[in-house]
Amino acid sequence: MKRKIIHIDQQRCNGCGLCANACQEGAIAMVDGKARLIRDDYCDGLGNCLPHCPTGAITFVEREAAPFDEAAVKARMAAQSAHGCPGSAARSLNRPAAPSPLSEGPVLASQLRQWPVQIKLAPVNAPWLNGAHLLVAADCTAYAYGNFHQQFLKGRVCLIGCPKLDGVDYTEKLSQILRENEVKSLTVVRMEVPCCGGLEHAAVTALKNSGKFLPWQVVTVSIDGQILDAAR
């Protein structure tokens, strides 16, 4: 049947993932760093995803498409409610008992070198950005990875964010930071959950947009605090 359905312009999509988070029906998914309409029958054609797109990549078109299958969508949503989003599913993590109270052992010094740390709040031309080794980290990483300060924060300027909670695309601001400051290297530390893909994509795209050639790496941390990979 011919009906109204969304269309995602792959050239304009910046991979932030906000539309996929907004699509409760599950019609949109992130594929190779881009948002794609993966199920015509899951798209109701109402366009709740449109206002969440920061680049205007989503529009309506009228074309041949499978009819909206409300029953299938309800079944999918019920299954998702049972299992939960990977990024917000509740779980317990078994840890060995702490060897001693904090008061009985040495207190490790914080390695934080600047303020503010939130990407949204950091001035683009802050003096501590010049000559910095820049760390762009997901909010949760410092809690999930026990040695975060020593392994990642030490000797670096840190900017943190969560694309799912902040509801913004960081690409433009990070691009400006990299263009206008003499940043020496870029390290991205993200969680394994899918919504962290927006942070990685924003940082890597910002580096490309800056036109600079810097040493860079992306490190993925698992929910139980393990380093899964370090990609370049």
Q: Which two tokens stand for residue 205?
A: 């795209």
CATH code of residue 199:
3.40.50
CATH code of residue 65:
3.30.70.20
Q: From first to last of its 232 residues, what are the pLDDT tens digits of the chain?
A: 899 999 999 999 988 888 887 887 889 988 877 889 999 999 998 888 888 888 899 999 999 999 999 888 888 777 665 555 555 555 555 656 655 555 556 778 899 999 999 999 999 999 999 999 999 999 999 999 999 999 999 999 999 999 878 877 889 999 999 999 999 999 999 998 877 888 888 899 899 999 999 999 999 999 888 998 765 5
Q: Are residues 186 and 116 in the same domain?
A: yes
Q: Are residues 75 and 123 in the same domain?
A: no
Q: Are residues 129 and 202 in the same domain?
A: yes
Contact 91, 76 (CB under 8 A): no
Q: Are residues 51 and 138 in the same domain?
A: no
pLDDT at 179: 94
Residue 68: domain span: 2-83
Residue 96 lies in a domain: no
Q: Are residues 149 and 227 in the same domain?
A: yes
pLDDT at 75: 84
Domains identified in the chain, total number: 2
pLDDT at 174: 95
Residue 97 lies in a domain: no
| Burial label, 4 (beta-carbon count in 10 A; 0-12, 13-18, 19+) | middle
pTM as predicted? 0.64
Q: Where among 44, 67, 83 does a domain terminate?
A: 83
**What 3-state DSSP class applies to 200?**
helix
Q: Roughly how many angstroms between the first and final C-alpha of the chain, as a whole number?
A: 45
- What distance in Å separates the CA atoms of residue 219 and residue 156, rounded to the nearest whole number? 15
Residue 49 lies in a domain: yes
Q: Are residues 117 and 226 in the same domain?
A: yes
Q: Are residues 130 and 69 in the same domain?
A: no
Instruction: Give the residue from 67, 46, 12, 35 showing the smallest Cα distance to 195.
Output: 35
Instruction: Give the residue from 156, 217, 205 showing the smallest Cα distance to 183.
Output: 156
Q: Which two tokens stand for residue 104?
A: 């009985």
CA distances 22 to 12, 17, 49, 165, 175, Å, are 18, 9, 6, 12, 25
